[in-house]
């Protein structure tokens, strides 16, 4: 089963990741779910597909009371991101889901009503979680046409959705240990799934100006320390999408 690991803590301000399910069927992609806490209030990023809801919920229950979760942040519309929404709403019908306005008539097919969704404008916005201000940063066309990442300036953490993702072997480490070896598992994914070199360079320029200690993707291992800028620089140089010959 998945387990929850705290990756940042400053008093009641915490980030925890639900990751690494060795019992996951091999036909499902492995995913990371991040729980951001500020006091008694929590936000869950990309809560995952309906098939893994039980594993995610169980792992969170071992760590905290899931009733503390008041909001979901969906980086985009894919089923591995948000198809569990209906199950989360069965547990707590008052949950709010922050996502791009572009998907406001698509994601409700997974569950929810017009009272569930908080639409993020293209330029992004601030999401308040108690005393904590989280920034939804544009990452459009990486790889979705309506796509956002979540930045916590206090923790110096960026939840980067599919950017930074790597398709790793089972039982891999939670954090990147050997960047050169790790990045081989990321190259093909980024070249195929990131659609625009222009959007990629815009993102790299934006996030390279942020104070960052960790870059946390939805798939694969977490980048920390010097590996954060190593990844950004590597990504900036990588031809992606229509710029890749096949």
pLDDT value at 246 more than 60: no
**Residue 24: pLDDT band with limits 50, 70, 90:** confident
Residues 6+ positions from 188 with CB-CB distance below 8 Å: 167
What is the distance between the alpha carbons of residues 134 and 84, in angstroms, rounded to a whole number? 23
What mean pLDDT value characterizes the chain? Answer: 95
Q: Where are the beta strands (DSSP E) in the chain?
A: 3-10, 13-19, 33-38, 41-45, 69-73, 96-100, 117-120, 125-129, 132-138, 148-152, 157-161, 214-217, 223-224
User: Looking at residue 120, what DSSP letter applies?
Assistant: E
Domains of the chain: 3-115+131-237 (3.60.15.10)
pTM (two decimals): 0.96
For residues 38 and 132, the answer to whether their CB atoms sit within 8 Å is yes
Q: What pLDDT digit, counting tens, does each position of 73-84 carry?
A: 999 999 999 999
Q: What pLDDT digit, counting tens, does each position of 40-85 carry?
A: 999 999 999 999 999 999 999 999 999 999 999 999 999 999 999 9
User: Which element (helix H / strand E) includes 87?
Assistant: helix 85-91
What percent of the chain is modeled with pLDDT above 90? 90
Q: What pLDDT digit, counting tens, does each position of 170-216 carry?
A: 878 999 999 999 999 999 999 999 989 999 999 999 999 999 999 99
What is the distance between the alpha carbons of residues 155 and 197, in angstroms, rounded to a whole number? 29
Q: Tell me, rounded to whole angstroms, the distance of Cα 26 from its chain centroid.
A: 21
**Residue 20: pLDDT band with limits 50, 70, 90:** confident
């Amino acid at each position: 089963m998945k387990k929850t690991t705290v990756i940042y803590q400053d008093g009641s301000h915490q980030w925890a990741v639900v990751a690494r399910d060795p019992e996951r069927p091999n036909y499902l992609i492995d995913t990371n779910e991040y729980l951001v806490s500020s006091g008694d209030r929590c936000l869950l990023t990309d809560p995952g597909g309906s098939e893994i809801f039980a594993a995610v919920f169980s792992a969170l229950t071992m760590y905290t009371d899931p009733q503390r979760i008041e909001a979901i942040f969906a980086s985009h519309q894919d089923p591995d991101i948000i198809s569990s929404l209906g199950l989360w709403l069965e547990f707590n019908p008052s949950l709010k889901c922050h996502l791009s306005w572009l998907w406001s008539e698509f994601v409700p097919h997974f569950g929810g009503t017009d009272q569930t969704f908080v639409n993020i404008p293209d330029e992004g916005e601030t999401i308040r979680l108690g005393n904590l201000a989280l920034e939804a940063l544009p990452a459009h066309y990486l790889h979705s046409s309506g796509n956002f990442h979540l930045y916590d300036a206090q923790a110096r953490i960026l939840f980067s959705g599919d950017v930074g993702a790597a398709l790793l072997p089972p039982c891999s480490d939670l954090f990147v240990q050997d960047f050169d070896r790790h990045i081989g598992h990321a190259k093909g994914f980024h070249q195929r799934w990131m659609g625009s070199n222009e959007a990629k360079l815009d993102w790299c320029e934006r996030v390279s100006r942020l104070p960052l200690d960790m870059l946390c993707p939805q798939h694969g291992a977490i980048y920390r320390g010097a590996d954060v800028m190593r990844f950004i620089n590597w990504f900036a140089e990588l031809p992606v999408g229509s710029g890749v010959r096949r």
